[in-house]
Amino acid sequence: MFRRSPRALIFAAAALIVTIATASVAISDLSTLHRRASSLGPEQSVVVARRKLTVGRTISARDLNTRPVYRSQLPPQVMKTTSEVIGRVVTVPIVKGGFVSNANLATLSRRGLDGALPAGTRAVRVAVAESIRPRVGAIVDLYATFPDPLSSTGNDTVSARVIAEGVLVLGVSRGRASVSGPTLGVTLLVSPRQAQTIAFATSRGTLSLALAPPEEARGR
């Protein structure tokens, strides 16, 4: 009768032990995953942004995706279906891949640019020198330069000053040509007080923009 050598028996026993240990680890990992899934709750399909969505944008189907998320990991008011979101106007920016929440959107009755305006804000369009062309969603400072009232010619100017700092660009369009060169029409989201200052500056001075870091956006 064929008999295995002691070494072969040792190897066979070691292999059996490794197999049992591996199976135990796999079973333990599966149990852990099941317990974690149970604690996180069931998965639910929710709406996320396919691209960055800026204030004032009317959302289309091309802007949206859905993905499953455990219910316990969902923030409040997240939208569950794209049909609830399409046609709504963005009032709070949404990053690419971010959850689309009802808190990011204007009410169903609001459309267009006016639908993007939070309470206590105004949208003001200004004509500025076309030194830079900011994108929609950029943060800018608005400067005004006024003629020196003491100048005999009226052409000398005082130093420019900021009249609206860290404001959001809602729209950009080509402005009219002027004696000083081409201009841009830029729509800004400002406070009522800033809107009043801008109206005065528009009638008395020259306006220009400077790009600002997104971190320097000012709350209205």
Q: Tokens 């490794």 appear where? A: 18
Within 10 angstroms of residue 139's Cβ, the number of other Cβ atoms is: 18
3-state SS class at 180: coil
Q: Check residue 198 and give its pLDDT.
A: 93
Q: How many helices (H) and strands (E) does the chain have?
A: 2, 7
pLDDT for 98 equals 92
* Strand duo 161-174 + 183-190: pairing: antiparallel
Is CATH 3.40.50.300 the right assignment for the domain spanning 43-114?
A: no
For the chain (220 residues), the mean pLDDT of every run of 10, in chain order, is 57 61 60 60 88 87 91 84 91 89 84 74 87 86 80 60 91 69 85 93 88 78
d(CA 179, CA 127): 13
pLDDT at 101: 92
Tokens of 105: 């959107």
**Which residues in the chain are classed under CATH 3.90.1210.10?**
43-114
Q: Which phi and psi angles does 206 have, rounded to 5°?
A: -115, 135
Q: Could you write out the DSSP letters of every residue in 10-24?
A: HHHHHHHHHHHHHHH
**Predicted pLDDT at 60:** 93
d(CA 136, CA 56): 9
Burial of 113 (C-beta count, 10 Å sphere; 0-12/13-18/19+): middle
> Which residue has tokens 């066979």?
12
